[in-house]
Amino acid sequence: MRIAALILAGGRGSRLGASVPKPLVALRGRMLLDHVLDAIPAGVRPTLLNAGEGTGFEPFGLPLVPDARPGFPGPLAGIEAAARSGLLEAADATHLLVLPGDTPFLSSAVLRPLLEAPGGLPRVARHAGRLQPAVALWPVESLAGLSAFLDAPEKHAIRLYLDRTGFEAVEIEGDDPFFNVNTPADLADAERRLASG
C-alpha cells in the first residue's frame, strides 16, 4: 500500500476577515497549513495541495492541484483534481489521505487508525459519533466515478458520494481533533486551546 496525501486548501478566508486563503491564516506564529502538514504520518507521500497558482502556497514547495471546475465547487472537486492530476499514478499511490487545511489539532496519532488495515472502501474519521467526511483515506480506485458524480446536477457533498461508494467509519477517541477554523471566534478558541495545551 502506498499512500499520498491531499490537503484541501481552497477555503477562502472571508469569514475570518482574512485576505488570504484560510490555511494561510496565522495561529500562534504558524500558518494553519503548517499545523496540518505536521499531522501527516511518516511515509505518506507525496503531499498535494488543492490550491491554484498564485494563491500564496508556492513557498511550501508542494505540488498544487487546482480545481478544474469554475467557482468554488467544494471539497469533492479538490479530490477530483488530485485524482485527475496524474500525480497519484506517478507516485504509484493506492490510497489518498484527504485532510482539510483548516484543522490545526490533527496529529499523526489521530490519523494513524485511518491507515490501519484499509480495504476497498474509503475509511472516514468519526469522532463522538459524528462523521468527519473531509478526513478520510480513499482507495484511488474508489475515485473513478467522481467526475461523473460531479457532472450530475445534484448536490455534491462528500457524504453523498461516500453513500454511493460505501465507506467504513473509523472512530477516533479523545479530545476533538477535527475542530476547524472558520470565524474569528474559532481562531480565538484555537489560540486558547493551543496556549493551554
Q: What is the CATH number of the domain that holds 122?
A: 3.90.550.10
Q: How far apart are CA 179 and CA 159, in angstroms?
A: 18
Q: Parallel, antiparallel, or unpaired: how do β-strands 123-127 and 130-139 relate?
A: antiparallel
Residue 189 pLDDT exceeds 80: yes
Range of the domain at 188: 3-196
Helix, strand, coil percentages (3-state) for the chain, rounded to 5, are: 35, 20, 45
Compute CA 167 distance to the chain's CA centroid, rounded to the nearest angstrom: 17
Sorting pLDDT into bands at 50, 70 and 90, what band is 15?
Answer: low
Domains in the chain, number: 1
pTM over 0.85: yes
Residue 68 pLDDT exceeds 90: no
Q: Detail the DSSP E strand segments found in 39-150.
A: 47-50, 95-100, 123-127, 130-139
Contact 53, 66 (CB under 8 A): yes
Burial class (CB in 10 A: 0-12, 13-18, 19+), 53: exposed
Q: Each residue of 75-102: pLDDT tens digit?
A: 999 999 999 999 999 999 999 999 999 9
